[in-house]
Structure 1
Amino acid sequence: MAEEIKKIMFTVRKPPHGSIYVYEGLEVKLIMAAYDADISVVFMDDGVFAVKQGQNTKELGIKGFAATYGALVDYEISQVYVDRKSMEDRGMTEDDLLVIGEDEDTEEPIKPEVVDGDQIAAMMAQQHNILAF
C-alpha cells in the first residue's frame, strides 16, 4: 500500500532581516525538499519583502540571502506564492519579485505566483502541515 505524500506549506510572514526566522525557514525548505513531500511556500504580510529583488544589505552589515531563493525551483519547490494584498499594501508590484528559477524547457525566468487571500485559504485547507516562519 502506497503511503500518501505529505503536503507541507511554509508561510513567511516576517521581514527578511532583523531576525533569523526567514533565513532559517529558507534552510528548512531546502532540506525538506530532499524528502518526498509536496512543498509550497506563501509569502504574506512583511514576508513579501523576502522575495523583493534588489535588496542591499550592506548598510545592515549582514550578508543578504535573497539570491538563495533563486534555487527554489532547482530544489523542486515550484509552488511559491505571494499574497497580492500584502504585496500591494507594501507598495510592491509583480515586477518587484525575485526570480526563483528557470523553466527547464523555455529557459524563461520563473517568479512567485501572486494570489488572493481566498486562494491562500483554499490551499491551506488542503495541507497536512503548515509551518510558519
Structure 2
Amino acid sequence: MSKSLLIISRQAPWAGPSAREALDIVLAGGAFDLPIGLLFMDDGVLQLLPEQKAAHVQQKDLTANLQALSLFGIDDLYVCGESLVERGIAASGLNIDTLQLLNGSDISLIIDRYDQVITL
C-alpha cells in the first residue's frame, strides 16, 4: 500500500526553485498514482494568481503545470484562507477552481491525514 504524501508549497512563484520543485513532485506522484495532495500557503498562494508575467523575470510560467494537476489525477488541492486574506487575494480570482479553502484547525487536520509531509 502506498503512503500518502502532502506537499506544502510556501514560496512565491519566482522566489527560487521551490515552487517549481513542489509542482514537479506532485506531478510525478500523480503519474505513479500515489495518494498525494498539495497545499498552498504563505507566499505560495501567489502561484495561484492568473496572468503571471514569468518572462519579465526570465522564468518559465507555472500556469501550465498548475492546469495539468487534474490531468494527473491530483484532486486534493488546498489553499490557506488566512494566507489569501493576508495578501488581499480573493479566492474567486484564483486560476484553479477546484481548490479547497482551509482555515485554522482545518490545516492541522489535513496535515494529520497524510503519512508524509514535505514543505517547500
TM-score between both structures, scaled by the size of structure 1 = 0.83
Secondary structure of the residue aligned to 2:35 is strand
In 2, the alpha carbon distance for the partners of 1:36 and 1:62 equals 29
Aligned-partner residue type, residue 104 of structure 2 = G
8 A Cα contact 2:33 2:73, kept in partner: no
Amino acid at match of 1:115: L
The residue number in structure 2 matching 1:18 is 15
Which residue does the alignment assign to 1:88? 85
Matched ranges for 1:46-65 at <5 A: 46-65=43-62
Higher helix content, 1 or 2: 2
TM-fit CA distance, 1:11: 0.1
Tell me, yes or no, if the aligned pair for 1:84 and 1:114 is still in contact at 8 Å: yes
TM-score normalized by the length of structure 2? 0.92
The alignment status of 1:72 with 2:69, answered yes or no, reads yes
Q: Distance in 1 between matches of 2:60 and 2:109?
A: 36
- Write out aligned runs for 1:7-46 (5 A): 7-46=4-43
Look up the equivalent residue of 1:10 and give its one-letter code: I
Cα RMSD (Å): 1.3
How far residue 50 of structure 1 moved from its aligned partner, in angstroms, is 1.0
Partner of 1:118: 105
Q: How high is the sequence identity, in percent, across the aligned residues?
A: 24
Shift of 1:79: 0.6
Higher share in strand: 1
Match of 2:114 in 1: 127
**1:53 is paired with a residue of what secondary structure?**
coil
Counterpart of 1:120 in structure 2: which amino acid? I
Gaps of 5+ in 2: none
Moved over 4 A (4+): none
CA distance in 2, matches of 1:35, 1:59: 34
> Unmatched 5+ residue regions in structure 1?
100-109
Contact 1:14–1:47 (CA<8 Å) still a contact in 2?
A: yes
